Structure 1
């Protein structure tokens, strides 16, 4: 079986980490297949939402230390004997760091369904998603410091944007483990649900996205992310262009007519 499963069902692309025996620790194969899956999603007009999850007892325990050691670097081939700092940097850039860069190009909503634990790069993968739906009892940690590493997979970018610089530094400096409810209070995760309801809650949430007005959803996502690096004037200019586009689409006409019909019925 592949270390990563990729399927498309009912317009939802499902990326499933599939190394349950190692709590879905990243392997080279997993990263390569993840990149291919994201390229497919980015270029598809039929996929309306993306779900990232993990098989077994956990979402993801981070990088596979054994594979990193065997490959003399970060997710490199075991046959690659190079071990310079530059080669390790390039390996990160060409492999696992391609994932956040590709996600930045994807306008469809990306949902992380997290259970068990999400540590190190595993937590970073959840932070890269738009929404994090987490089971009660889940443990989260930026555990890089425990093995003397810096957060190489995006935590330095995503974490302070979600929880603030001070809380991000606290997590990264100490490698502390955060429980699901505390994580929600920090703004680290979006929803916390009972574990037995995790699948049904996530499915219902995805259904709302899949049946919603697609261009409005995608342009809204693009506006929010791009506005973080824009002036107010540029952001308003961009969103007014999007408004001009969506008001020409059928979804808008249907929505307006539905509101008219409901208003008329209320006054009859």
Structure 2
């Protein structure tokens, strides 16, 4: 069986492509969930990776769950209610727990529709760039089910509760320009320019010191559920670590000497 995720390196950037165009990169197989878990474990262990770009091969970014499997009660939808619950907990719910929690920035380059779990997958990333042909829907309710992979937590944090409620309770599709106006994506470009735009942004992020990137993202994540005073305590601790990195010393020297810095990741 061919791998669901294809990876390639461009310097400090890891490009990840979902490669099941025949199913519009639908997420229904346990092996696909495991592929994301393994990917995140690899990135956490590889300190040379600074940024991840996630995209899809074919006409869609990710079509969400496989509706045919839902009809046939196959794959992760098979078995008793208890078994389905465990399939979610031990399957697709492992993706937000590892991908959202990843220390390095993740850019979603959305080459086509992101539907249901596909939209939630994009919301697990830090920044979303969309092709002008992309469409988006939190469409679970149209199939008589609920967001089962974290969408009810993720989406309101990006577009706000009123718009998240509108999307989740109607299941309606929105186009790329609406997604841009709502803050769901930060940029809309022609499909032919999508990868170049995503890589340009990734290089801007990757030009910064590794420790600073990872610590900054961790603060942004922790700030989602901490009080201000608690976050300030964590910020002070992280700042103490950052001030004692070689890359911070180099960044300060380069700034004062009006030259480009040369970072080593130390």
Asked if Structure 1 and Structure 2 have the same fold, meaning a TM-score greater than 0.5 normalized by the shorter chain, the answer is yes
Contact 1:15 1:34 (C-alpha < 8 Å) held by counterparts: no
Contact 1:32 1:95 (C-alpha < 8 Å) held by counterparts: yes
Moved more, 219-228 or 101-110: 101-110
Unaligned regions of 5+ residues in structure 1, if any? 77-81, 264-268
Contact 1:74 1:92 (C-alpha < 8 Å) held by counterparts: no
Give yes or no for the alignment of 1:131 onto 2:133. no
* Aligned match for 2:227, one of 210, 224, 231: 231
**Aligned equivalents of 1:112, 1:196: Cα separation in 2:** 16
Give yes or no for the alignment of 1:26 onto 2:27. yes
**Aligned equivalents of 1:68, 1:14: Cα separation in 2:** 31
Normalised to the residue count of structure 2, the TM-score between the two structures is 0.90
Question: C-alpha root-mean-square deviation of aligned residues, in Å?
Answer: 1.8
Contact 1:117 1:139 (C-alpha < 8 Å) held by counterparts: yes
**Aligned equivalents of 2:12, 2:209: Cα separation in 1:** 14
Q: CA deviation at 1:7?
A: 3.8
Contact 2:53 2:199 (C-alpha < 8 Å) held by counterparts: no
Residue equivalent to 1:45: 47
* Aligned match for 1:175, one of 171, 176, 188: 171
**Aligned equivalents of 2:221, 2:19: Cα separation in 1:** 30
**Aligned equivalents of 2:118, 2:14: Cα separation in 1:** 19
**Aligned equivalents of 1:96, 1:4: Cα separation in 2:** 15
The number of aligned residues is 257
Normalised to the residue count of structure 1, the TM-score between the two structures is 0.90
4+ aligned runs moved over 6 Å, structure 1:
none
Deviations 1:48-78 (A, max 9, x none): 21121100111011111223444x35536xx
In the TM superposition, 1:6-155 aligns within 5 A as 6-28=7-29, 29-70=31-72, 72=73, 75=76, 83-155=79-151
Deviations 1:144-198 (A, max 9, x none): 1121110111110001111111211110111111111111111111222222211
Contact 2:13 2:203 (C-alpha < 8 Å) held by counterparts: no
Unaligned regions of 5+ residues in structure 2, if any? 260-266
Contact 2:134 2:175 (C-alpha < 8 Å) held by counterparts: yes
SS at match of 2:7: strand
Deviations 1:24-66 (A, max 9, x none): 1123132222222122122222222112110011101111122
